[in-house]
Structure 1
Amino acid sequence: MSQYQHFIFLDYPIKPTPRFGWNKPPHAKLYEIINRNRLLYEEYLKKFLKHKEKFIHINRHENKAFPNCPFWINGWLPGLDSVAIYGFLCENNPMRYYEIGSGNSTKFAKQAIKDHNLQTEILSIDPSPRAEIDSICDHVVRQPLENVDLHIFDDLETGDILFIDNSHRSFMNSDVTVIFLEILPRLKPGVFIEFHDIYLPHDYPQEWITRYYNEQYLLASTLLADGNKYEIIFPGMFIAQDPELSKVLAPLWDDPKMQGVERHGGSFWIKTK
């Protein structure tokens, strides 16, 4: 075991298994809520497709001579997620792009800023990102989120982006708990928020049962209980699995320069009202 791994003993037996999706119907109410905004998802996809020429000039594979540059086949960030980061930055031209968890997402964000001369500054909150990330950020906070002064999130304004790719686990004093109980309620209207590794309206996949992720259950509960607080603007996995919506980016994915790039996504974007 590493210093970051711990045994957790449960006093009540559980059997982790997907309850929704994966050869079962999706969660009915969540599907209804997410499906309502499908015209908006299509609109964003069409806007993102306008950047096709920029996308196809991003390398498919890593070029170690240029460690700061993004590349599509990276093993962590699927194609649709990378498109969304780049696309929303171009659409919003925000003053601030905050990341909780940095890596390939940071590289795609920086590429969008460079390609379109955006005004955006990148703030990275991550206790231990790869070394090359620091050089492409404007501000870095190298400590766990739960130790950060949360007043920095008061600076986020309409159109700004908060990208969240964290531990995906809610415990006492964990990053997920801090986000849902302390950060989300303080955000101003119009802030774009991305959660990563979200499968809604489906459950987590069977092969992830030993990870014990629970972040998307908090997100699902939030959407089910307080639909007037947030607008769903881009549910990546829903889009990737929808026969109509998944076709919109076909001209990008079918380009020979995008061969082998994963077409799905696990990012779930909402916006505060």
Structure 2
Amino acid sequence: MRAMLRRIKSAYTVLRYPLWVPPGHYYSPLADKADVSRAISQIDTNEEPIAIELNGTDQRGLAELLAQHWSEVPTVPDPQWRYNPHNLWFGLADAAVYYSILCHFRPSRVVEVGSGFSSAIALDAAERCLPDLKLTFIEPDPRRLLGVLKKSDEPRCQLLKSPVQDVPLGVYDELSSGDIVFIDSTHVSKPGSDVNWLLFEVLPRLRPGVHVHFHDLFWPFEYPKEWILERRGWTEAYMVRAFLSYNKTFKIELFTSWLWGVAPELVKKALPAAVDAQPGSLWIRKC
């Protein structure tokens, strides 16, 4: 029912604001049937992107260190934790990795672009191993975030109820080596979008050593077949792939969908409840 209402609303919007060309036209950002079929057939080839350093050995080494913390994250709802693994937005696998990265690298500051269940696990990590952590949440619709905040969280948290494009860039100047920019964007590159702003304005100004997370990215920089067939029109993965190509300034630290595919034995041992998950987090670091 919710999907049907969304489609009706979309159709109404198109009628109010006519498109220059119809969806699927070769000038349209929305794929036609041939493009969809082509994209899906390329997924099945499993070809690795060229011109991108995957750093597989380093990824495995880091994962072995992080895995020591994965079992600390509850696999069922726990009243002692803000994070609830039974959600559709930030699953157990990605949450456990985020939690372990926080506990391992021990940042002083985290800036989250987009908030919700990821914020819950960050606050849980802060409560357990990072008493001095400061968190900034950039979120124009913070209802989900406000639902997990406790009174005791207020001193460490700053909420900027605004699109990230309207937030002063000085927020990122406060970050130092080891700190984190956690990005869960609209996933769409278009004029004036958050994706463009983050890639073109935010990432280049970060100090060396800052970690950056992108959510809903999957190896090898393509979206799941179901999402392509839904014609979501998401383009962030392609933008990030282009950003990382021939890029010696940013290094891939951990690509969870790749790791889950090549190291099932590690996942089965450290986080068996998520062995069949399809995680979608890309972690990179500015060198």
Match of 1:9 in 2: 19
Q: How many residues align?
A: 257
Q: Does 1:214 align with 2:235?
A: yes
Deviation at 1:95, TM superposition (A): 0.8
The letter for the 2-side match of 1:48 is L
8 Å CA contact 1:200–1:220 kept in 2: the answer is no
The residue number in structure 2 matching 1:51 is 69
3-state SS of the aligned residue for 2:44? coil
For residue 230 of structure 1, report the CA deviation from its aligned partner. 0.4
Alignment partner of 1:269 is 2:283: yes
Q: Aligned ranges for residues 12-31 of structure 1 at < 5 Å?
A: 12-13=25-26, 14-15=31-32, 16-17=35-36, 18=39, 22-29=43-50
Describe the SS at the equivalent of 2:72. Answer: helix
C-alpha distance 88-52 of structure 1, shift in aligned 2 (>3 A): closer
* Structure 1: 4+ residue segments shifted above 6 A: none
Unaligned runs of 5+ in 1: none
AA aligned opposite 2:82: C
Q: CA deviation at 1:192?
A: 0.2
* Aligned partner of 1:250 among 258, 261, 268: 268
TM-score normalised by L of structure 2: 0.81
| 1:241 aligned partner | 261
Change in 2 beyond 3 A, CA 1:236/1:158: same
Q: Secondary structure at the match of 1:248?
A: helix
CA distance in 2, matches of 1:81, 1:33: 22
Cα shift at 1:93: 1.0
Quote the offset at 1:246 in angstroms: 2.7
Bigger radius of gyration:
2
TM-aligned CA deviation for residue 73 of structure 1? 2.4
Shift of 1:117: 3.7
Q: CA-to-partner distance for each residue in 1:7-52, whole Å, 9 max, x for gaps?
A: 473534342422675322334416x622xx1122112221122124
1:162 aligns with 2:175: no
Q: CA deviation at 1:252?
A: 2.8
Conserved 8 A contact 1:19-1:203: no
Cα 1:229–1:20 shift into 2, 3 Å: farther
CA contact (8 A) 1:60 1:261 kept: no
Change (3 A) 1:142 1:237: same
Q: Aligned Cα RMSD in Å?
A: 2.4
TM-superposition CA deviations, 1:103-158 (whole Å, max 9, x none): 11011111111121442111100001223245446110011111111211111110
Q: Which residue of 1 aligns with 2:106?
A: 93
Which residue is equivalent to 2:248? 228
Q: In structure 1, what is the Cα distance between the partners aligned to 2:111 and 2:41?
A: 32
Q: 1:143 aligns with which of 162, 168, 192?
A: 162
Q: Match for residue 86 of structure 2?
A: 73
Please point out which of 57, 65, 71 is paired with 1:39.
Answer: 57
TM-score scaled by length of structure 1: 0.85
Distance change >3 Å, CA 43–CA 261, structure 1 → 2? closer
In 2, are the aligned partners of 1:79 and 1:262 still within 8 Å (CA)?
no
Q: Distance in 2 between matches of 1:21 and 1:97?
A: 36
Measure, in 2, the Cα distance between the counterparts of 1:145 and 1:169.
14
Identity across matched positions, percent: 25
Does structure 1 retain, via aligned residues, the 8 Å contact 2:95–2:121? Answer: yes
Aligned partners of 1:162 and 1:9: how far apart in 2?
A: 35
Q: Distance in 2 between matches of 1:54 and 1:187?
A: 31
Q: Secondary structure at the match of 2:65?
A: helix
Q: Please give the alpha-carbon distance, in whole angstroms, between the structure 2 residues aligned to 1:28 and 1:143.
A: 35
Higher relative contact order (CA 8 A, sep 6+): 1
